[in-house]
Amino acid sequence: MDYDIKITGGTIVDGSGKAGYAGDVGIKDGKIVALGSAPGEAAKTIDAAGKIVSPGFVDIHTHYDAQIMWDKMLSISPWHGVTTVVMGNCGFGIAPTRKDHRLLIAETLESVEGMSVEALKTGLGEDWGFETFPEYLDAIEKSGTAINVGVLFGHTPLRLYVMGEDATEREATAEEIAEMRRLVTEAIDAGAIGFATSKARTHVGFRGKPVPSRMASHEEVMALMGALGDKQKGMIQITIGKGLSYDEFAEITEKTGRRISWTALLAGAQIAGPGSYKDQLRRSEELIASGHDVVPQVTCRPLNFEFNFKAPFLFESAKAFNVISRAEIPERKEIYASKEFRDSFREMLAKPGNNLGRAFPVATISYCPSDTAVEERTIKDVADERGMDVVDLALDLALANDLETRFRMPVANADEEAVEELLKHPETVLGLSDAGAHASQLCDACFSTYLLGHWVREKGVLTVEEAIRMLTSRPAEVFGITDRGLLAEGRPADVVVIDLDKVGASSLKRVYDLPAGEDRLISEATGIDAVVVNGTLLREDNVDQI
């Protein structure tokens, strides 16, 4: 046979942004060997008449660090045409981790990324099979994955590995910084594609303490990123916060020569003024104009979180909820019932400029078995009808259902004009799917099919060529993934066949397929007819082929 797979009759959109053209794709031994014209026979032929033939999509912001150890498909990303993911974002991960720190890492991931401790314990098992970061990469390679994976070396597990529980309490000593820098160098040498960290105030870890990276001094941050500068290799991913923002970006890029991609540039309630998305965009533009290699990450979807008061992720960084993070479930119920807590909650929501104060009343009650009539109505709507305060109404409903009542709250990106501005800005990059994280709270791993269905087909804001570039060569280039994101002869055969008339992401559905029977939200894809990874047909007609 001339080809293992031949894709015929489609419109080839190669990922470069150039206009699509009619042609065939021939694949042999994992590579694209013919593009445009592909005469000859194939073991497998895929008819792409009337369809788009694209490079596989690249998702640069995932949290599959634990899931990869039990789910080689990294579902649901391939369902939506994703063939390459980057994990370790925000500085979170599971390596390096000492055996006696495993529960602390699991509790941190539960708190900050909404991962179930029971799912993590069951999925990872008693023997993780690794401790150091190089051993972790070896474990991934040994077990195999269905799609391509790049791993950022995370600041939080690194700090915990070197400093123990002190990592959440204090700055590092000179000796500890030196050891961390050595381990960053080791990680880059082993194959990490960069280093990731967070100073975000919302990132709260085990026992309600700040995640370890938030306690790092400026000297520590510069030393660790300096390791990448020494190697002139790897990029830097930063979740911004006090002490690690635009001023520091300038110093980091000047001293290391490495690119920074930062999260997250989102359209919130505030359009103008300090802290608004326009202000953040302006400051990034000024840095870029001054020669600093800084790329903000944006997303194409409205950011909506589902939460309950058993694990109130969205509120855990708020002072009023400090007492909750340290309490077991029975005590949490007592606290939620108390007037003292409810008053402090109300006070928090009423503070000027608090986005949660705007979003909480209009949150939708998505699950309430004791009173199903309130489902799919807003907290404020039901509270007004019953003559109640929104805090009292929400907490009463939560307590009536053993804290299992769920609420769906809009957090950002509700303004589509603002989202369009961010998507079309030439210096942004599409990211922030958070695939693998917040599994029971949101599902944005479907961002790719949403972009194509909503922003290309339905709104006509982007051409298909622009959107495909945003999903392929642009994120690959930003993260230094040089062999992905384009269709060209000789390159690895990561290919997606797309029915543009049908492509989209389904409404969210809750399933219970994580280890220990834990739940997650999923979105099924439409219009992704075939997914090929490294020359292997991974999915066809929404069915796994391996």
Cα–Cα distance for residue pair 124/172, rounded to 1 Å:
30
Q: How confident is the model at residue 352 (pLDDT cuts 50, 70, 90)?
A: confident
Q: Is the link from the previous residue into 96 a cis peptide, with omega within 30 of 0?
A: yes
Query: pLDDT value at position 489?
Result: 98
Ranges 23-32, 91-100, 190-199, 315-324: which has the least confidence: 315-324
The domain segmentation of the chain, as residue ranges, is 3-55+492-544, 58-302+414-478, 305-411
pLDDT per residue as tens digits for the range 40-80: 999 999 999 999 999 999 999 999 999 999 999 999 999 99
Report the C-alpha dihedral over residues 394, 395, 396, 401, rounded to 10 degrees.
100
Please choose, from the candidates 80, 120, 95, 136, the residue with its C-alpha nearest in 3D space to the C-alpha of residue 439: 120
- CB atoms under 10 Å from CB of 427, counted, come to 13
Give the three-state DSSP class for 20. coil
Is residue 94 pLDDT above 90, yes or no?
yes
Is residue 104 pLDDT above 90, yes or no?
yes
Q: How confident is the model at residue 270 (pLDDT cuts 50, 70, 90)?
A: low
Return the percentage of the chain with pLDDT > 70, whole number.
99
Please choose, from the candidates 44, 4, 49, 2, the residue with its C-alpha nearest in 3D space to the C-alpha of residue 22: 49
Residue 14 per-residue DSSP state:
-
Strand 429-430 vs strand 31-36: parallel, antiparallel, or unpaired?
unpaired
Strand boundaries in 270-427, DSSP class E: 294-298, 303-307, 364-367, 377-378, 406-412
The chain-wide mean pLDDT, for the chain, equals: 96
Residue 134 per-residue DSSP state:
H
Query: pLDDT value at position 269?
Result: 55
Q: How confident is the model at residue 496 (pLDDT cuts 50, 70, 90)?
A: very high
Write out the DSSP string of 332-368: HHHHHH-HHHHHHHHHHHHSTT-HHHHHTTT-EEEE-
Q: In a 10 Å sphere around its CB, with 0-12 CB exposed, 13-18 middle and 19+ buried, how is residue 257 labelled?
A: exposed
pLDDT per residue as tens digits for the range 166-209: 999 999 999 999 999 999 999 999 999 999 999 998 898 998 89
Query: pLDDT value at position 196?
Result: 99
Superfamily for domain range 58-302+414-478: Metal-dependent hydrolases (3.20.20.140)
Q: How confident is the model at residue 322 (pLDDT cuts 50, 70, 90)?
A: confident
What residue spans of 290-321 are helical by DSSP H?
none
How far apart, in Å, do the first and last CA atoms of the chain sit?
21
Q: In a 10 Å sphere around its CB, with 0-12 CB exposed, 13-18 middle and 19+ buried, how is residue 284 labelled?
A: buried
Please choose, from the candidates 440, 336, 413, 451, the residue with its C-alpha nearest in 3D space to the C-alpha of residue 59: 451
Query: pLDDT value at position 540?
Result: 98
Query: pLDDT value at position 272?
Result: 55
Q: How confident is the model at residue 127 (pLDDT cuts 50, 70, 90)?
A: very high
Query: pLDDT value at position 426?
Result: 96
Q: Are the CB atoms for 159 and 199 separated by under 8 Å? A: no
| Contact residues for 328 (Cβ-Cβ < 8 A; gap 6+) | none
Q: For 380-388, what is the mean pLDDT?
A: 98
Q: Are the CB atoms for 444 and 432 separated by under 8 Å? A: yes
Query: pLDDT value at position 353?
Result: 75
Is residue 273 pLDDT above 70, yes or no?
no
Cα–Cα distance for residue pair 248/197, rounded to 1 Å:
13
pLDDT per residue as tens digits for the range 21-45: 999 999 999 999 999 999 999 999 9
Query: pLDDT value at position 325?
Result: 80
- Secondary-structure breakdown of the chain: helix, strand, coil percentages, each rounded to the nearest 5: 40, 25, 40
Q: For 256-264, what is the mean pLDDT?
A: 97
Q: Residue 231 carries which side chain, given as an amino acid letter? A: K
| Contact residues for 39 (Cβ-Cβ < 8 A; gap 6+) | 2
The tokens describing 242, both together, are 């006090």
Q: How confident is the model at residue 363 (pLDDT cuts 50, 70, 90)?
A: very high
Query: pLDDT value at position 208?
Result: 84
Residue 209 per-residue DSSP state:
P
- CB atoms under 10 Å from CB of 274, counted, come to 9
Identify the residue whose tokens are 């975000």.
200
The CATH class for the domain spanning 3-55+492-544 reads: mainly beta
The tokens describing 102, both together, are 């495993």
Is residue 111 pLDDT above 80, yes or no?
yes
Q: Are the CB atoms for 241 and 198 separated by under 8 Å? A: yes
Q: Residue 71 carries which side chain, given as an amino acid letter? A: D
Query: pLDDT value at position 271?
Result: 53
Give the three-state DSSP class for 1. coil
Q: Are the CB atoms for 235 and 260 separated by under 8 Å? A: yes
CA distances in angstroms from 104 to 101, 169, 201, 348, 514, listed in the order given: 5, 14, 19, 29, 20
Task: Put residue 208 in one of left, alpha, beta given phi > 0 → left and psi -120 to 50 → alpha.
Answer: left
Query: pLDDT value at position 311?
Result: 85
Most distant CA pair in the chain, distance: 76
